[in-house]
Amino acid sequence: MSTDQPVWFEPPDLLGVAELAKNSLIERLGIEVLDVGPDWLSGRMPVDRRTCQPFGVLHGGASVALAETLASLASTFVVDKSRFFCVGLEVNANHLRPAREGYVQAVVRAVQLGKRIHVWDVRINDDRQRPVCISRVTMAVVEGRTG
């Protein structure tokens, strides 16, 4: 669904995202949202003791947490937050290559943005731009507000 037209209901506030991440899994894993385009968000996560499994490679669950975090944030910026909130419905991840150090970077792009369901494609690469994980995240758009 790549487009040059903005998909956002309101422009993503990267400083607000950093504040929202405090005291959450996002902060604990070191996930950062880096940049935003008209139809994508990018972020990164360190490959370190917080995100690796005992054999010293990036834990698949950490990759899934990165993918769902970016897709959740993206969906949140697509809807009118005064009327809707978005929750994860399904995550599929194909782990393609181990990462052992540095950071993994991810880009999320919409596949389909419906009234009640959003589907996102998340591509996670290592520092050498080699694919580590490809994920598809389905979000449910729920009427109402959180909190």
Where in the sequence is the domain holding 29, given as residue range(s)? 14-143
Residue 3 lies inside a defined structural domain of this protein: no
Contact 75, 139 (CB under 8 A): yes
Tell me the C-alpha to C-alpha distance, in Å, between residue 30 and each of 8, 21, 66, 83, 141.
25, 10, 10, 30, 27
Residue 6 lies inside a defined structural domain of this protein: no
In the chain, how many domains are there? 1
The catalytic position among 19, 27, 32, 68 is 68
Residue 5 lies inside a defined structural domain of this protein: no
Report mean pLDDT in 10-residue bins for the chain, 147 residues.
Answer: 80 88 95 96 98 97 98 96 95 98 98 97 98 98 81
pLDDT at site 146: 63
Residue 9 lies inside a defined structural domain of this protein: no
Q: Is 68 a catalytic residue?
A: yes
The CATH number of whichever domain residue 128 belongs to comes to 3.10.129.10
Residue 80 lies inside a defined structural domain of this protein: yes
- Measure the CA–CA gap between 142 and 86, rounded to whole angstroms: 6
Residue 44 lies inside a defined structural domain of this protein: yes
